[in-house]
Structure 1
Amino acid sequence: MAYESFLIGARMARNLAAKCLEEAETADPARAFYLIAEHDRHIDRAEDYEMRASWCAPKIPQEIAA
């Protein structure tokens, strides 16, 4: 359950980051600077969620190489 929640959070953060960049293209320079900073924060948050998801990831049995 935690694994899926973290992945959903990461996906949502990446979507917000994409929206910030999209809006920054047409914004005035001061607003664009703010939106780019917001994009960076959302990307950092997405990476944090993905790291936490990796801690909770279900274990997959692996074959031992001969």
Structure 2
Amino acid sequence: MAQVNGRTVPIPESISIEQLKEQLGVNACRMAVEVNGELIDQNRFGEAIINDQCTVEIITLAGGG
């Protein structure tokens, strides 16, 4: 189980951020992801691996006025 935005989320032993986005149904194109306090570049979402010991914060950006 990983902590994602303060919630316990079941994940496989290891998963990429891109796979986690798909599992959670997050399809925002403008977002920031922090893993264990480290901001992950969006270009690395497919290769950055998290595990059940990670704390993940996903922040989606919304436009409007």
TM over 0.5: no
TM-score by length of 1: 0.21
Structure with a larger share of its residues in helix: 1
TM-score by length of 2: 0.21
Structure with a larger share of its residues in strand: 2
